[in-house]
Structure 1
Amino acid sequence: MTHESGVRPSFSDAFAARAAGYYRLAWTADGFPGQLQQDGSIWEHPIYPTYVLKDYLAQ
């Protein structure tokens, strides 16, 4: 989910901490949120878009 400028909105502080740590959230080339794997690939996690949208809407 990117703005026309190519910049993604920021996460809330609470979600940003979980996204970076526990979820290992990363973005695919087409902008889908996924989980960063040990080999550097990104798995398109099926529930991560819900987490991201929920955080954006809560803000």
Structure 2
Amino acid sequence: MLQTRIYPVTGFHVDVQESYEVVKKMLTDSDGDQFITLTLSSGNPVSFQRSKIVYFTKY
């Protein structure tokens, strides 16, 4: 159940289970250097530094 595709500065993408709206709220409510934790499509947790996410889209 893929919901959102995250594009970090490294140029690759990661698919997470959280909805676009949830990701947007997490990014909006966090500071630039804060880490946010999401769930990969495989069910494993992944953390990103907020300032290293270039953009994200609905998937």
Is the structural similarity TM-score above 0.5? no
Q: Who wins on radius of gyration, i.e. which is larger? A: 1
Bigger strand fraction = 2
